[in-house]
Amino acid sequence: MKKLTFALLALTMLHTQAIASESKHHKQINWPFDGALGKVERQSAQRGFQVYKEVCAACHGLNRVAFRTLSGIGFSEAEIKALSAEYQVQDGPNDEGEMFKRPGKPSDKFVPPFANDNAAQAANGGAIPPDLSLIIKSRHDGANYLYSLMTGYDEPVPAGEEVPDGMYYNPYFINGHLLRMPAPLTAGRVTYMDGTEASVDQMAYDVVNFLQWAAEPEMEERKHMGIKVMIFLFIMTGLLWIAKKRVWKKLH
């Protein structure tokens, strides 16, 4: 059993070292959602949703996110209804046994950009763009990794490293430094409705805030509950300590 444990630890260390050697150390950002008191920066998350919708949604889905959950970052019921109706959702079968398309409803989840993986591969040079619903949680140091990746395309290609046609160099890419996705963000790519300047850094920051919320929409509730539980345990510990002292005092 001990040998198996040591072997698993060794494999974990080797895997971690391999990941570290493959990609450049991530840029470290002070995110509003970090820490026990972290919270969703809703205005930034709304801008991030705009970036996702206008830039990322052409290739990347949000298959696990329902339209109605957008209320968590400040969208009104009317806005969610209007947004969901822009999508065509496959439903059925109808009375004739056929599938059909209908306008989306708030209870529906985001419609994927491709019908299946084969269609995604055909449209992206053989690569399947990952779904972004849980991308922040599925990558090591997810928020900083994604921010670094989106802002890392301007890094110079090291001498001696060749970039094949159809590939792009990014030192932060987790599986080597070459990927098929071109730089998704360029300055002014979107026009923010609140007037914020749409620099590459700003758009990357905003879309990471949105994707963090998408991956963990219950984060604030969970953290608030955790603080309440810790306060309760602290008070109970004090009361039990007092009770213990009084009980043992009488016995002595």
Q: Which residue has the higher pLDDT, 24 or 189?
A: 189
Residue 22's pLDDT band (boundaries 50, 70, 90)?
low
Listed in sequence order, the residues at least 6 apart from 95 whose beta carbon sits closer than 8 Å to its beta carbon are: none
**Residues of the chain above pLDDT 90, percent:** 75
Cα–Cα dist 167/174, whole Å = 15
Give per-residue burial for 109-127: e unless 16+ CB within 10 Å, then b: bbbbbbeeeeebeeeeeee
Q: What type of residue sits at position 28?
A: Q
Average pLDDT, the chain: 89
Interval 100-109: pLDDT, tens: 999 999 999 9
Strands 100-103, 88-91: pairing kind: antiparallel
Element housing 118 (H / E) = helix 117-123
Interval 193-232: pLDDT, tens: 999 999 999 999 999 999 999 999 999 999 999 999 999 9
